[in-house]
């Protein structure tokens, strides 16, 4: 399987989701109704899809 680098927008969205997940886990974003682990999982899945799908 060949991996391709994700587009810049996909990379930065996943970084932003990772930062939001970190802030959720620390407790600074308590108004978001779900746990920060789900947000971190979404960030990793988005980055993984960006690496495996060409042009994404």
Which residues 6+ apart lie within 8 Å of 36 measured at CB? 20, 21, 22, 23, 24, 25, 29
Structure tokens at 2: 């060949």
| Biggest CA-to-CA distance, the chain | 40
pLDDT score at 31 = 86
Length of the chain: 56
Confidence of residue 21 (pLDDT cuts 50, 70, 90): very high
Confidence of residue 47 (pLDDT cuts 50, 70, 90): very high
């Amino acid at each position: 399987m060949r991996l391709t680098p994700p587009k810049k927008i996909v990379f930065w969205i996943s970084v932003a989701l990772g930062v939001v997940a970190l802030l959720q886990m620390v407790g600074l974003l308590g108004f978001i109704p779900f746990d920060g682990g789900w947000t971190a999982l979404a960030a990793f899945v988005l980055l993984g899809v960006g690496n495996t799908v060409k042009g994404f």
